């Protein structure tokens, strides 16, 4: 019984049935079929619960520290963090020369002091007045911008500010109480300024500058300037003014001693003398006086006037005190062409101011009325002298054609015959800029188109048609060619084998004692089919100086012969010969 009772107490479990059989239901062991889940042990539950409790305690401990222990400190820090609207300074456009060489561009601030790109400029000499310089954006002592843009101060940087100027971007900047940037987010991208391509050949301008610089040292000139223009487009392909300055120094403003030296220099390195300098022109006005005399039928081109080195005007009130107007040498008989070639002052005194009957015998002609100052004023202004050229560039001067009204207002004196004589040879109060003379000579070369000069490449040409008489124009330009290739001509230094030039020199006396002179040369080339006009001024040399502007310009032509033969049209000539 006991045995049976004991056996009955032991129950047979379900999983013990068929325990000796092998996977009769065909369970998929890989998917855990036929496996029974066992309950999680109490120890495991307690362990996981403990871990969660620790995490919660740590979280609440940190929260207590932030809110209670250090809450006031963190609140103060948060209040002092600001979200500001920041400026992204836009880069400025690049300036190129006509050959594609960069003249002004943007460079990284290596010391990272300013927070925007710095302006870099070409190392070529003689380009300072052409390029100009910029002033940088500025911050106050708290680091906030009170000037948010680059500003072109002069030169191309100023003239084309609207093109070169970019558009600033914006960003949101978080800064802490000490001004340190915590984070930044760009919300508006800036726009880089547009680039410009100047008409100027930087290498040619530098060569002209270096030649002028060395010539001033040789001959004792104070300064000088020069330019070359395409007579069909008005493009200035070379422009320089000596002495110059370093634009990068002016932009950075850190070299105070050098900048003070620029300001104290009596040769005016900041002045673009080609455009903004007004000078007594001297004899380079004579071709325009000649054209006016022909157009007004004052004298036939073949009419000769005799010069023994002076023109004497008798004084009817005191015969012993005549007024003498001197020539620079005795020329003998000259007609209009030879008067231009030899630069006879007596000839131009007479066609400009006339010849009274009492003085007529000495010149070999009868009484002559001359142009008179009113017509001189009209024709000089017709050729653009004494007026601005319209070039898009800062600092241009108008110059001056002396008139009776001007003299009365300036000196409170009446106009005299001698004033007309001196105006006829580019003296007295006559003032022009080299740029005015350059485009006037371009008009002689291109048949009478008075171009508006430009410093930008490939713009539409603008000009006024002067409707010059071709016959009169040929007479004037023949005289200019003779000045170069005829014995006794005043521009013999430009008689070159590789190009034919038509030119005119001028020596303008300065001061009451005439102890100093300006030396000029102007003209165009090639003579047969003009393409370019040129002007070169050597300023204020001792009268005894023997180095004229013509010889200085010859060195410029020699440089072009080697380095820029295309301007002399030598490549075209060689090609034409090959074709033949």
User: Any idea which of 6-20, 37-51, 188-202 has the lowest mean pLDDT?
Assistant: 6-20
Give the CB-side neighbour count of residue 250, counting CA atoms within 13 A: 23
Edge-first strand listing for the sheet containing 181-188: 82-88, 169-175, 181-188
pLDDT score for 579:
39
- Secondary structure (H, E, C), 489-518: CCCHHHCCCCCCCEEEEEEEEECCCCCEEE
Nearest residue to 351 via CA among 330, 376, 326, 328: 376
Mean pLDDT of all residues belonging to the chain: 87
pLDDT score for 22:
54
What span, in angstroms and rounded, lies between the C-alpha atoms of 573 and 580? Answer: 11
83-197 shares its CATH topology with 202-579: no
**Architecture of 202-579 per CATH?**
3-Layer(aba) Sandwich (3.40)
CA angle 71, 75, 76 (to 5 degrees): 120
Which is it for strands 134-135 and 138-139: parallel, antiparallel or unpaired? unpaired
Which of the 8 DSSP states describes residue 466?
-
Specify the 3-state DSSP secondary structure of 77: helix
pLDDT score for 258:
95
Specify the 3-state DSSP secondary structure of 92: coil
pLDDT score for 154:
96
User: Any idea which of 63-72, 248-257, 281-290 has the lowest mean pLDDT?
Assistant: 63-72
Q: Name the token pair of 308.
A: 């023994």
User: Any idea which of 31-45, 109-123, 352-366, 407-421 has the lowest mean pLDDT?
Assistant: 31-45
Give the CB-side neighbour count of residue 191, counting CA atoms within 13 A: 9
218-243 residue pLDDT tens:
888 999 999 999 999 999 999 999 99
Count of C-beta atoms within a 10 Å radius of residue 539: 25
| CB-CB contact of 514 with 328 (8 Å) | no
Element (H, E) at 326: strand 323-326
pLDDT at 195 over 90: yes
* Residue spans per domain, the chain: 83-197, 202-579
Residues β-bridged to residue 172: 85, 185
pLDDT at 416 over 80: yes
Q: Exposure of 276 by Cβ count < 10 A (0-12 exposed, 13-18 middle, 19+ buried)?
A: buried
Nearest residue to 365 via CA among 379, 381, 352, 354: 354
pTM confidence score: 0.82
| CB-CB contact of 97 with 196 (8 Å) | no
105-134 residue pLDDT tens:
999 888 777 888 999 999 999 999 999 999
**Architecture of 83-197 per CATH?**
Alpha-Beta Complex (3.90)
Q: How confident is the model at residue 580 (pLDDT cuts 50, 70, 90)?
A: very low
Q: Where are the beta strands (DSSP E) in 402-555?
A: 449-451, 463-465, 502-510, 516-525, 532-542
Percent of the chain at pLDDT exceeding 70:
84
Count of C-beta atoms within a 10 Å radius of residue 348: 28
| CB-CB contact of 525 with 532 (8 Å) | yes
Sign, CA torsion 433/435/440/441: positive
User: Any idea which of 73-82, 289-298, 469-478 has the lowest mean pLDDT?
Assistant: 73-82
Q: What is the number of residues in the chain?
A: 580
Element (H, E) at 324: strand 323-326
Q: What are phi and psi of 487, to 5 degrees?
A: -55, 130
| CB-CB contact of 415 with 373 (8 Å) | yes
């Amino acid at each position: 019984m006991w045995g049976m009772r004991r056996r009955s107490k032991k129950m047979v479990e379900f999983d013990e049935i068929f325990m000796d059989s092998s996977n009769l239901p065909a369970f998929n062991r890989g998917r855990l079929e036929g496996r029974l889940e066992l309950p999680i042990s109490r120890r495991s539950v307690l362990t996981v619960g403990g871990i969660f409790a620790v995490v919660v305690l740590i979280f609440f401990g940190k929260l207590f520290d932030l809110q209670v222990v250090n809450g006031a400190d963190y609140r103060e820090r948060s209040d002092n963090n600001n979200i500001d609207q920041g400026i992204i300074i836009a880069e400025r456009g690049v300036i190129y020369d006509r050959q594609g060489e960069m003249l002004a561009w943007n460079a990284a601030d290596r010391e990272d002091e300013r927070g925007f790109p710095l302006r870099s400029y070409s190392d070529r000499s003689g380009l300072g007045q052409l390029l100009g310089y910029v002033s940088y954006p500025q911050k106050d002592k708290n680091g906030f911008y009170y000037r948010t843009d680059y500003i072109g101060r002069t030169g191309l940087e100023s003239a084309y500010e609207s093109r070169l100027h970019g558009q600033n971007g914006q960003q949101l900047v978080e800064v802490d109480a000490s001004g340190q940037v915590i984070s930044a987010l760009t919300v508006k991208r800036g726009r880089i300024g547009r680039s410009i391509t100047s008409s100027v050949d930087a290498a040619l301008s530098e060569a002209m500058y270096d030649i002028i610089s060395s010539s001033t040292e040789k001959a004792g000139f104070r300064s000088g300037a020069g330019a070359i223009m395409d007579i069909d487009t008005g493009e200035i392909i070379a422009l320089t003014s000596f002495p110059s300055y370093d634009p990068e120094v002016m932009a950075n403003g850190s070299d105070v001693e050098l900048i003070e030296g620029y300001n104290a220099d009596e040769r005016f390195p900041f002045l673009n003398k080609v455009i903004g300098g007004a000078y007594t022109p001297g004899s380079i006005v004579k071709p325009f006086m000649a054209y006016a005399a022909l157009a007004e039928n004052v004298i036939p081109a073949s009419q000769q006037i005799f010069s023994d080195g002076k023109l004497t005007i008798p004084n009817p009130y005191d015969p012993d005190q005549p007024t003498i107007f001197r020539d620079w040498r005795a020329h003998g008989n000259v007609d209009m062409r030879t008067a231009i070639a030899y630069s006879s002052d007596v000839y131009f005194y007479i066609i400009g101011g006339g010849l009274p009957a009492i003085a007529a015998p000495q010149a070999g002609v009868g009484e002559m009325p001359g142009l008179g100052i009113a017509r001189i004023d009209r024709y000089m202004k017709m050729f653009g002298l004494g007026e601005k050229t319209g070039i898009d560039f800062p600092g241009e001067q108008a110059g001056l054609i002396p008139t009776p009204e001007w003299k009365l207002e300036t000196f409170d004196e009446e106009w005299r015959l001698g004033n007309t004589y001196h105006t006829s040879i580019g003296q007295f109060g006559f003032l022009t800029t080299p740029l005015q003379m350059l485009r006037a000579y371009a008009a002689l070369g291109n048949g009478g188109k008075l171009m508006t000069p430009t410093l930008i490449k490939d713009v539409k040409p603008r000009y006024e048609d002067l409707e010059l008489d071709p016959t009169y124009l040929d007479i004037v330009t023949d005289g200019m060619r003779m000045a170069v290739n005829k014995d006794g001509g005043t521009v013999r230094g430009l008689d070159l084998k590789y190009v034919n030039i038509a030119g005119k020199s001028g020596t303008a006396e300065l001061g009451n004692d005439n102890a100093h002179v300006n030396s000029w040369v102007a003209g165009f080339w090639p003579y047969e089919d003009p393409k370019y006009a040129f002007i070169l001024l050597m300023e204020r040399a001792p009268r005894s100086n023997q180095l004229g502007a013509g010889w200085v310009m010859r060195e410029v032509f020699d440089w072009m012969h080697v380095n820029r033969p295309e301007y002399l049209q030598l490549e075209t000539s060689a090609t034409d010969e090959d074709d033949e």
